[in-house]
């Protein structure tokens, strides 16, 4: 049984529970959940970056760009750009 942790964020919905791992992996997993929660099956994480961390290294703040991947017909018509927004993740 994996141990989990609750991750706070600025996205839609309540807190997210992810498996305990390195802070970057936890933030990536939380961003994946947030993208799918908000944008459905095509929700994706485009970029994630470490913004700040505590002096003792136990708390980290990440900024992630989440959005919706275009369908094949949308990609042909408009290009492969992902539309979305930034969320802050506190791991």
Sorted by where each begins, the domain ranges of the chain are 4-90
Distance CA 54, CA 52 (A): 7
Q: Dig out the tokens for 75 from the structure.
A: 């990609």
Q: Are 60 and 50 in contact (CB under 8 A)?
A: yes
- Mean of per-residue pLDDT scores for the chain: 92
Interval 24-44 mean pLDDT: 94
Residue 55 per-residue DSSP state: T
Q: How high is the pLDDT of residue 79?
A: 82
Q: Dig out the tokens for 74 from the structure.
A: 């949308």
Residue listed under structure tokens 């944008």 = 39
Using a 10 angstrom Cβ sphere, with 0-12 exposed, 13-18 middle and 19 or more buried, the burial of residue 31 is buried
> Given pLDDT bands bounded at 50, 70 and 90, which one contains residue 49?
very high
pLDDT in tens, 37-46: 999 999 999 9
Q: How high is the pLDDT of residue 9?
A: 95
């Amino acid at each position: 049984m994996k141990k989990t942790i609750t991750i706070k964020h600025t996205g839609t919905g309540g807190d997210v529970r992810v498996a305990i791992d390195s802070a970057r992996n936890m933030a990536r997993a939380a961003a994946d959940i947030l993208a799918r929660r908000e944008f459905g099956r095509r929700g994706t994480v485009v970029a994630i970056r470490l913004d700040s961390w505590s002096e003792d290294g136990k708390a980290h703040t990440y900024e992630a760009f989440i959005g919706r991947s275009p369908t094949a017909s949308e990609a042909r018509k408009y290009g492969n750009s992902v539309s979305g927004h930034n969320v802050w993740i506190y791991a």
